[in-house]
Amino acid sequence: MDLFELIRYRRSIRKYEGRQVAREDLEHIIEAGLYAPNAGGGQRSMIVALRDPRLVEAVGRMNVGKLDRSRLSSNYVSAEQPSIIDDPTLKSGFYGAPTVCAIFAQANFLYSIPDAFCCAENMVLAATELGIGSCIVARGEETFNSDYGRQLMQEWGVPAGYVARCFVLLGYCKGDYPAPKPRRPGRYTVVEANSHS
Ligand SMILES: Cc1cc2nc3c(=O)[nH]c(=O)nc-3n(C[C@H](O)[C@H](O)[C@H](O)COP(=O)(O)O)c2cc1C
């Protein structure tokens, strides 16, 4: 697939096989994240990849525990790959993905959120190219906002002053891979040089 086909093919996967992602593939995906554009060239984001199923499940549950349903803009995400918004019985915000990468960034840096999501986007595209399913998940800061969460960050060597901005779930899609979603029309305008004449 060329890059544009890949961009159109990529979907958020929320149903995973138990099969683990190879370490070599994971490191390739992480490297793609590390090469993402980043504000001021500061390379401030940091990735922690979790591969222990019990830890992934525990942090995934912490992620759901922090979901504030009153702040959601919609209550429908996907019929084929239901999210925790679609299915309130789901207990983990990581959907059983065998590998979960937490992306941390400096809390007091203005562009830490876009930095982390640029990193995440590079990672999901690299995963798609390898035939690995992925999903970006939010609520990073809230997920670790507990004594246990802070203890984990310390154990993983996350520097003081950093917070999680998002997660990238990785694994193999269980069942049919979802079809491309049609794009909502009317979402762009091109202003040519002669538009005002
Ligand atoms: C900023 C951002 C936050 C997201 N947060 C979540 C999330 O917390 N949980 C989840 O299941 N999907 C999350 N997603 C994935 C979106 O739901 C998904 O990209 C969207 O529904 C479009 O579907 P597609 O990725 O399959 O094209 C997030 C995506 C972005 C860009």
How many Å apart are CA 130 and CA 23, to the nearest integer? 13
Q: What is the mean pLDDT of residues 146-152?
A: 97
Average pLDDT taken over every residue of the chain:
95
Within a 13 Å sphere around the CA of 123, how many CA atoms are in the beta-carbon half? 33
Tell the residue nearest (CA) to atom 10 of ligand 1: 137
Tell me what pLDDT residue 70 has.
77
pLDDT of residue 197: 59
pLDDT digits (tens, 9 = 90+) for 82-136: 999 999 899 999 999 999 999 999 999 999 999 999 999 999 999 999 999 999 9
Provide CB contacts within 8 A for 30, sequence distance 6+. Answer: 47, 49, 101, 123
How far is it between the farthest Cα atoms of the chain?
A: 64
Domains, the chain, with CATH or none:
3-171 (3.40.109.10)
Ligand 1, from 71, 136, 169: best to mutate by most atoms within 8 Å of Cβ? 136
Report residue 51: phi and psi, to 5°. Answer: -125, 0
What's at 37, amino acid-wise? Answer: P
**pLDDT confidence tier of residue 8, bands split at 50, 70 and 90:** very high
Mean pLDDT confidence for 147-176: 98
CA of 12 to the centre of ligand 1 (A): 7
Burial 164-188 (b: 16+ CB within 10 A, else e): bbbbbbbbbbbeeebeeeeeeeeee
pLDDT for 143 = 97
**pLDDT for the residue 72:** 75
Q: Is 41 left (phi over 0), alpha (psi -120 to 50) or beta?
A: left
Reported as a pLDDT band with limits 50, 70 and 90, residue 196 is: low
